[in-house]
Amino acid sequence: MSFDYRGKTVGVTGAASVKGIGFAIAKKFLESGANVFICDLKEDALQEAERELKQYGNVKSYVMDVSREESVKEGFRLALEDFGYIDIFVSNAGIYPQAFVCDMEAGQWDTVMNVNLKSVFLCARECSRCMKEKGGVLINAASYAALLGSAGSGAYAASKAAVYSLTKSLAAELAPAGIRVNGFIPGVIETGMTRGVIDSKKDELEGAIALHKLGKPEDVANAVSFLASEEASYLTGTFIEISGGKLCVQNPDFAWKQTDLAK
């Protein structure tokens, strides 16, 4: 389903990877008529993403370190200067380090929290200031790790669990300003960030998914587009899980082993 976003301005962080979720979200909104700006720390990749996205509509890119207050403020200043208003903002930036919690240096822990959690706070605060005129929509990226922790990526899981809780608090606090705040919970999505994990245990990962297949960035983009739409106008403080039924039961692989059920 496509929604009409003509006349709307949408911002997306973590959108520099052409194989990533942020890029797919930006593309979806552009195809629906929106003006889009993308933000990322990786300048070369960001410029490449902008070039790729220009074929779909009006897009601009801003180098932004989402973990730094002054960089976020400057990015929003430029966006408002160029577009005048921000109607929808997607906090998608994140990092996924693999390390046991007790083996991590404190600085590495802080980096995960700053990029994955502090960034959501900083962007939400700036959005609340510029959306107070006529409302808007904030959409935050959590993770399946927010619901079920993972050995070897505890810092990531903790940061995303905090995003889950923060999103619900923001939904209540910003409702009087006409700002809806929702989030999305991707399961195992094939992106550049997850490629290493997927390559090492694809069969195992698919076996824990009811649909028996991995997700695509476009699957997430479709759900985000809905959350931002007028059709979702009574949704706030809500998360959509985009996981193909990951661990929806204890034994999702069972049905696939029955020859009379499996196609």
**What residues are annotated to the active site?**
156
Distance, in Å, from the CA atom of 164 to the CA atom of 58, rounded to the nearest integer, reads: 31
The closest of 75, 88, 78, 77 to 36, measured between CA atoms, is 88
Helix (H, G, I), strand (E, B) or coil at 195: helix
**Sign of the dihedral defined by the CA atoms of residues 215, 98, 50, 37, in that order:** positive
Q: Is the dihedral of CA 117, 228, 51, 81 positive or negative?
A: negative
Structure tokens at 258: 């029955």
Q: Six-digit token pair at 39?
A: 């933000």
Q: Starting at the earlier edge strand, list the strands of the sheet with 9-13.
A: 59-63, 35-40, 9-13, 88-91, 136-141, 179-186, 239-242
Sign for the pseudo-dihedral over CA of 156, 159, 161, 163? negative
CA angle, 198 then 203 then 205, to 5°: 60
